[in-house]
Structure 1
């Protein structure tokens, strides 16, 4: 196996598993079951806000210093935040740790996607990567719900250990970089054909770094070949799923146990695993893959009021399908760290901001009305013309 795969694949599983292990126990983490929906949503969204604020800067940094170093920073921050979440019950520490965990995510994903785009059979590798991504999400939420009676943070502890394993793999893989820097020789970064790491020149390159140039490049990418449409779809699609997921523990408290909640939500990630592999091998046009994902997600949200297991399965299938079409469309425009970071801000803008914004309407309107409204907004974007 490609040594970078051996690092990225278990790492994405651990990173996503840790991020999702908090979902079934959000009310307990936020205030022993007595917290308001806004507090639970804020704790949930802290992770995504951290990612949102750092995806583009770390995408730029990956282009400057190399994908492996930036992805490694993401792994390191995930491990550190996992330790604090495991051992602290202070709400401020938990909130800051979730934010730092999100920063780690912001470092990891642009570099990882840029790295994968430079491999042979990159589309198949993308499907495998997203399979493990969703496997981690599924395992995190499922184990958290199933093991909550043993200990409220049992699943968090497990994934913190797995993040530690990834950190150990990172140290092993980093030996090549250390050897390279000491020798003063050039080394091609296998994860991205556009990136170089040249010993002895980095200090000068970084000193001549022009932020304005990268801001201009980011703006050009955003408006290039309909990139903004893909970004907007990501915000709405994943914001709608985040709004439902972050509030479903409170909404379903009267009719679902913790294990049942964990099973229902984990079904979405099992579906995303399967749909990611299927979408990665389909010959459909990207726009049709994206539209199929939107329809499945909207149907799942509508069914969430009556059939949680089926609903989350459809939501996961929709998200897993859509992300393959969206990333494939983005990579046709550009596979640079900047482009991948910018695209991922759409996903995390939705996941980070819409649950907070949407939760403000739950008090006056109720859960059902807010959920149904998000499904209708999703169906409205089907009329958006994609190339």
Structure 2
């Protein structure tokens, strides 16, 4: 395995594991009190809000200064946030750290995907990368729940250590490169699909024109019903995010931490399996998306009585739906701006909807809010798109 693969693969596992390690212990991090559902949702959503705000800007930055530099920023921000989450119990520090962790995610993923797209074995590498992405998410919630009885932040400490190891790989990688005449770094790993001048970023070297990017973004958003696909992703991830951010509080009376971690990790295992299955089917994208929506909504409804089945269905539905959505988006446009916009929809759902939904838990209760989010998700079945 070449050094850049080792860097990206180890980093995506650590980044995703650390992001999810907080989920089973959100009530403990938020503290006791009548405002704990809202605080839990804010701690959960802070990460996604940080990513939401920076995915597109950092994707543009990666085109301008080079992918490795932006990947480096993402890894560094993740490590810093992990350290502060590990050592502090102050809500302000925890909230800001989760936000900074989201900034790291926003920097890492656009640049990482861009690097992989240039490799000769990009298709295989993308599959391996996404497998480790979901494996990290599953490992984060599983070990957080299983190890919570030892010390509430045990899993967070473990994934912070893994992020530190990725940082060491990063130092070795950057030290192994030599600057060219422009002061940028040469790409030495030799697996690019196309020949580029040493250190040249993906974009040409003309002056940066924000107005041009804003116009491209606007055109893409309203092109061929793209906004409908974007809206479905917001609702899909928002509805499941409401459940994920509040389920630790809701299930405190009938699930132990290990049981909760195991149940949530099942969703990521299901997502891995459904993604593989959906990738091999010849069904239309529209059918795949709608089947995923039905499965995810059914999972939300089952969450009131059968947690393990519920999270498995949510993961299976989400894994299938996102594959159909990505394929549908790529038919509209496969540009970096289009993919960046699509990802902002996912993170808008994960970052904003749980906070909004938590406001209704006090007057309505958990079960009503969960049922309501499932029913809202089902309404997306009536959205017409090609």
Q: TM-score, normalised by structure 2?
A: 0.91
Range 23-32 or range 221-230, more displaced? 221-230
In the alignment, is the contact (CA less than 8 A) between 2:271 and 2:319 conserved in 1? Answer: yes
- The CA deviation at 1:386 is 2.7
Matches within 5 A, 1:163-242: 163-175=163-175, 177-180=177-180, 205=205, 208-242=207-241
Map of 1:257 onto structure 2: 256
Q: What CA distance in whole angstroms lies between the structure 1 residues aligned with 2:267 and 2:160?
A: 23
2:282 corresponds to: 283
33-42 or 191-200, which deviates more: 191-200
1:53 aligns with 2:33: no
Measure the CA separation in 2 of the matches of 1:160 and 1:148.
16
Matches within 5 A, 1:135-146: 135-146=135-146
Deviations 1:82-131 (A, max 9, x none): 11111111111111110000000111112222333344564544333222
Structure 1 residues 120 and 328, CA, compared in 2 at 3 Å: closer, same or farther? farther
What does residue range 8-23 of structure 1 map to in structure 2 within 5 Å? 8-23=8-23
| Pairwise CA distance, 1:172 | 2.5
- Which residues in structure 2 correspond to 1:1-387 (within 5 Å)? 1=1, 3-31=3-31, 35-120=35-120, 122-175=122-175, 177-180=177-180, 205=205, 208-387=207-386
Counterpart-to-counterpart distance in 1, 2:173 and 2:228: 38
Query: Is the 8 Å Cα contact of residues 145 and 258 (structure 1) preserved in structure 2?
Result: yes
- How far the C-alpha of 1:193 sits from its partner, in A, is 7.0
1:150 is paired with a residue whose SS is coil
> Given the superposition, is the C-alpha separation of residues 159 and 376 from structure 1 closer, same or farther in structure 2, using an over 3 Å criterion?
same
Q: CA deviation at 1:269?
A: 1.1
**1:66, 1:96 → 2: CA distance?**
27
Mean Cα deviation higher: 321-330 or 253-262: 321-330
Distance 1:246 1:192, change over 3 A: farther
**Offset of 1:156 from its aligned partner?**
0.2
Residue 368 of structure 1, CA deviation: 1.2
Ranges in structure 2 where 5+ consecutive residues have no aligned partner? none
Native 8 Å contact 2:120 2:191 kept in 1: no
Counterparts of 2:91 and 2:200, CA distance in 1:
44
Report the alpha carbon displacement of residue 329 of structure 1 after superposing the two structures with TM: 2.8
Q: Distance in 1 between matches of 2:366 and 2:282?
A: 39
- Larger displacement relative to structure 2 (172-181 or 20-29): 172-181
Taking structure 1 as the reference length, the TM-score comes to: 0.91
Q: Which moved more, 1:338-347 or 1:42-51?
A: 338-347
Q: Deviations over 1:155-206 (max 9, x none)?
A: 000000111111122222324544446787975998987996765999x958
Structure 2: distance between partners of 1:60 and 1:223: 20
SS of match in other structure, 2:144: helix
Superimposed CA distance per residue, residues 187-242 of structure 1 (whole angstroms, 9 cap, x where no aligned partner): 5998987996765999x958x32211111111122122322122111101001110
Kindly state the Cα deviation for residue 347 of structure 1 after the two structures are TM-superposed.
Answer: 0.6
> Could you tell me whether the CA contact under 8 Å between 1:239 and 1:354 is conserved in 2?
yes
Query: What's the Cα RMSD here?
Result: 2.7
Q: How many residues align?
A: 385
Q: Could you tell which deviates more after superposition, 60-69 or 243-252?
A: 60-69
Change (3 A) 1:18 1:186: closer
Q: Secondary structure at the match of 2:305?
A: coil
Call closer, same or farther: CA 1:229–1:114 in 2, change over 3 Å: farther
Q: Is the 8 A contact 2:67 2:201 kept in 1?
A: no
CA distance in 2, matches of 1:104, 1:190: 27
